[in-house]
Amino acid sequence: MLTQVQLTHPLEMLKQRADRIIEVRFKEKNLKLTDIAQELGVSVRYLSEAYKHAGTTALKALMQHRLQRANVMLREGHCRGMSIKEISSMTGFACLSHFSRAFKEEYGLTPTEARTEEILV
């Protein structure tokens, strides 16, 4: 009896490996595609192709991971004593205004509104 083995496309495997690097290194404000590609031993072009194959970009994946982590931190009780600027810095944003704009674009709320909304719930 033959069983069908599903093979993972090499670009999918590369993207998964890159995603793991992003999960570990997202706090680095100066993290660049070249850093991720170098750690993986591939070219930036090949890394970009892996994300393109998945319908996104590496920079979008990094941004999304940072914003998701910031969103969680804004809503967690143990982070209440932290300022929004501290949270933005801890999630890899060098500029508070950039963080605030990106957060509002992603979630439809400012970081302050997200924090307040969680308190009211």
Three-state secondary structure call for residue 82? coil
8 Å CB contact between 107 and 118: no
8 Å CB contact between 51 and 58: yes
* 73 φ, ψ (degrees, to nearest 5): -65, -40
Tens-digit pLDDT profile for the chain (121 aa)? 555 555 578 999 999 999 999 999 999 999 999 999 999 999 999 999 999 999 999 999 999 999 999 999 999 888 889 999 999 999 999 999 999 999 999 999 999 999 987 655 4
8 Å CB contact between 93 and 29: yes
pLDDT at position 3 is 53
All domains in the chain, ordered by first residue: 10-120 (1.10.10.60)
pLDDT at position 10 is 92
pLDDT at position 119 is 56
Three-state secondary structure call for residue 91? coil
- Give the C-alpha separation, 21 to 25, whole Å: 6
